Chain A
Amino acid sequence: IAGITQAPTSQILAAGRRMTLRCTQDMRHNAMYWYRQDLGLGLRLIHYSNTAGTTGKGEVPDGYSVSRANTDDFPLTLASAVPSQTSVYFCASSKTSGDKPDTQYFGPGTRLTVL
């Protein structure tokens, strides 16, 4: 593995189902982020984690939860999917712990469709 991987690449999901999007990085970065990207809108932060064991809410956290049990993994869970959660989801990471400016590096994304 080199960088950030996300799984699945794409998924079609029935409304009401539970879904976990996986994100793994091998760069030993401290901070990790989940964004959603919708047509005509900028990337919007869902949740973030500055270090393993801590998480925080971003701009659009409702309907999503995260955990950060270790440095490498940062899964995003949709407890009960709704059609408005149809989007492309990007995981990102940065070396520092969210306390100074730093470049964020992105995974390839997961395209999720909720019907």
Chain B
Amino acid sequence: GQNIDQPTEMTATEGAIVQINCTYQTSGFNGLFWYQQHAGEAPTFLSYNVLDGLEEKGRFSSFLSRSKGYSYLLLKELQMKDSASYLCAVMDSNYQLIWGAGTKLIIKP
């Protein structure tokens, strides 16, 4: 079966760094997406990885290891506005997105 696993909830301190992990088992792989979703709002695109390695985009970075079925999202210099859910999704062989349940990130002052 297809499965995406990520922690349910994480807590971090303003100004710190946090890493959100995602492991996956899917039928085929056409890339991994990270989305941010604030409470009561729509998911918004953060990053896309299809090759192994680290992609950096400002305070956010995303890493992929295809051989390990593993990705992480790294958030630096945390701000209160980063409090949100972070969704990991894998595009399978049919170009459909398979979604994890999301990680709720709580930022404390």
Is chain B a partner of chain A in the same complex?
A: yes
Q: Does B84 contact A (CB under 8 A)?
A: no
Whole-angstrom CA separation of A58 from B44 in the bound complex: 21
Tell which of A12-20, A67-75, A93-101 binds the partner. A93-101
Residues of A within 8 A of B42 (CB): 90, 106-109
Which A-chain residue is minimally distant from B44 (CB atoms)? A106
Q: How far is the CB of A41 from chain B (nearest CB, A)?
A: 6
B25 within 8 A of A: no
B33 CB–A CB distance under 8 Å: yes
- A25 to B74: give the CA distance in the assembly, Å: 32
A101 to B97, CA, bound (A): 10
Is there contact, CB below 8 Å, between B50 and A43? Answer: no
Return the contact of B45 from the options A45, A98, A103 (Cβ within 8 A): A103
Chain B residues packing against A (C-beta within 8 Å):
4, 30-31, 33, 41-45, 48, 50, 87, 89, 91, 95-102
